[in-house]
Amino acid sequence: HEYELFMMHNDECISDMFTRFTTIINSLKNLGKSYSNQELVRKILRCLPKRKKTVKKNFPQDEESSKREEPTCYECKKPGHFKNECPNLKKKEQFKKKNEYFKKKKAMVATWSDSDPSSSEEESDEKVAHIAYMAIEDEEEDEVNFSFDELQNAYEKLYVEYENVCLKNKTLKKNAMSMSKEIDNL
């Protein structure tokens, strides 16, 4: 019961919380209940308050580590700025905005009527319409990026819904069995 209700207290540091968690896990192991490392890690991550989820470890600083390197841009690989400040990236974005027309894909479908040289004179009196269809489609990326926490929450909600459906299915099967037995008795 302590494991299910385990949460980090507001005034508690991470090391104290982990010690308390380890004590609970050890007592559960003595009772024959064991959890995988993955389950334990997920439980600890869920228990951390939002402000504690990013943990920064403070190491003693020496002279070499106190000298900070300049940030390196991942776009142009030059030091002195980050990717979001990169002048090359800004130029690319401006070019894309100016040439919005090139982002669109074009498709063309054309149909031709029968205009055989061997056709009769009667058919040649008819006027032929040449039709061409063209569709323009905006190029959009359908890629959606979710964070691990968002995916984890969605998975947990889906799993709870799955368990509810399983329980409902089980009760419906029991009802069907009892009704079929009742029909057999009649």
What is the tally of structural domains in the chain?
Answer: 3
User: Running DSSP on this structure, what letter comes out for residue 105?
Assistant: E
- The answer to whether residue 126 scores a pLDDT higher than 80 is no
Alpha-carbon distance of 45 to 127, in angstroms, equals 75
Q: Is residue 72 part of a domain?
A: no
Domain closes at, from 138, 159, 178? 138
User: Is the entire prediction scored with pTM above 0.85?
Assistant: no
Q: Is residue 164 part of a domain?
A: yes
User: Running DSSP on this structure, what letter comes out for residue 43?
Assistant: H
Lookup: tokens for 88: 């090359």
Lookup: tokens for 117: 């040289």
Dihedral sign for Cα atoms in the order 87, 93, 95, 97: negative
Q: What is the predicted pLDDT for the residue at 95?
A: 63
Q: Is residue 5 part of a domain?
A: no
Q: Is residue 67 part of a domain?
A: no
For the ranges 30-39, 84-93, 100-109, the maximum mean pLDDT occurs at 30-39
Q: Is residue 7 part of a domain?
A: no
Tokens 């399983």 belong to which residue? 166
- The answer to whether residue 123 scores a pLDDT higher than 60 is no
- The answer to whether residue 117 scores a pLDDT higher than 80 is no
My answer on whether 133 and 89 are in the same domain is yes
Q: Is residue 173 part of a domain?
A: yes
Q: What is the predicted pLDDT for the residue at 35?
A: 83
My answer on whether 124 and 152 are in the same domain is no
Render pLDDT for 1-45 as a digit per residue (tens, 0 to 9): 678 888 888 888 888 888 988 898 888 888 888 888 888 888 888
Mean pLDDT of the chain: 74
* Phi, psi of 106, deg, nearest 5: -120, 145
Burial class (CB in 10 A: 0-12, 13-18, 19+), 40: middle
Q: Is residue 184 part of a domain?
A: yes
Q: Is residue 37 part of a domain?
A: yes
What Rg, from alpha-carbon coordinates, does the chain have? 34
| Structural domain boundaries enclosing 32 | 14-52
Q: Are 6 and 27 in contact (CB under 8 A)?
A: no
Which helix H or strand E contains 153, and what residues bound it? helix 148-185
Q: What is the predicted pLDDT for the residue at 52?
A: 46
Strand positions, DSSP E, the chain: 104-111, 131-138
Which helix H or strand E contains 42, and what residues bound it? helix 37-47
